[in-house]
Amino acid sequence: MTRPARILVTGATGAVGGAVMRVLEAAGQRAHGVSRRGGTGPRQHLWQAGREEPPPALRGPWDAVVHCAADTRWNLPFEEAERANVAPLRAVLGLVGPETHLIHLSSSYATGLTGDITSTSPDAYRNSYEWSKAATERLVHATRESADIVRFPVVMGARADGFLDRYSGFFWLPTSLCSGAVPAMVAEEKALLDIVSTDDVARHVARLVAGGAPTGTRVTVLGRGDRAQPVTQVFETVRAALNGWRARHGVPPLERLPSMTPEQWNRFYLPFAEEHLDRAQLLRVTAFRAYQGYLSVTEPFEVTHRVPDTSLALHRSIRRWAETHETAARRIPRPWRT
């Protein structure tokens, strides 16, 4: 009788790791999960990878390790991004043997501003998150004879109902639209926002696990590629989903924001704002600036695996966010005044 495969999923309580655990479970695999705070359910372990020794239960041998653990914040100082994303991978590499099938989850944005992961310079990336994700890919290439690297863009919830274990990252947008923290839609006219569902990533990972380790390092890129939605359309889908929920709950609709290019915003509006807005307003404007780079990508990602249309998954995820974040979804944006 063959023994069941021993599979470890890091970041198992996160948006992607949670979905990977469910798909593996549905395929009959009894995967172990690990996260900083530990999850509920059987086979969930607690470990601050990169900051402490692994508990004995996590020592191998593992047949497959799916490494989802990461800190996806874009605005960490560079040393902190290194501690949050590169150090945990180094610690996970200590758990895997040469026979282990390592599946490392990365981001389509890891290729930064130059289109590849080779540069170690922060200038080659939009932010410390991208820079650290590129560093993790380089570490996988440098240390493994065989591994899968899976890149994908912005992640939405399940296709059926928008469910996500955690609404972080992109969900600054509905939060900020409802609170009025986004004063304008600042995006390049032809910008695209590529989106996948957690289902797409989790099913892809499950297929990789089932197929076994590749010869060499294999990079797959999921997404819509040149069929990604324009940013303007994404904003309208988010607004429509929020307004649908708000109408059902008797909350006034969100109005369409004025749109402008990053150049117009940075050259004309921001200098004016810096002179006239109060400290709290300026903080909101500065926080908003961190996201601009992502709304200015006009070159589609080259994908190896095109996922089905994600506009409905986006709509359902925003609706689900509103259902689970009622106080934030009910807010009436405060008008911008100087």
- Residue 209 near ligand NAP by CB under 6 A: no
Output the smallest distance, CB 17 to ligand NAP, in A.
5
State the Cα–Cα distance between residues 75 and 89, nearest whole angstrom. Answer: 20
Complex with ligand NAP: residue 281 or 310, whichever CB lies closer: 310
Q: By CB under 6 A, which span of 15-23, 214-222, 278-286, 311-319 interacts with ligand NAP? A: 15-23
Complex with ligand NAP: residue 63 or 137, whichever CB lies closer: 137
Within 50-69, the residues that bind ligand NAP by CB under 6 A are 50, 68-69
Complex with ligand NAP: residue 63 or 71, whichever CB lies closer: 71
Output the smallest distance, CB 194 to ligand NAP, in A.
10
With CB under 6 A as the contact rule, the residue among 44, 48, 119, 233 that binds ligand NAP is: 48
Complex with ligand NAP: residue 166 or 330, whichever CB lies closer: 166
Number of residues binding to ligand NAP, judged by CB under 6 A: 31
Is omega for the bond preceding 258 within 30 degrees of 0, making it cis?
A: no
- Residue 70 near ligand NAP by CB under 6 A: yes
Binding interface with ligand NAP (CB under 6 A): 10-17, 35-37, 47-50, 68-72, 88, 105, 107, 133, 152, 154-155, 166, 168-170
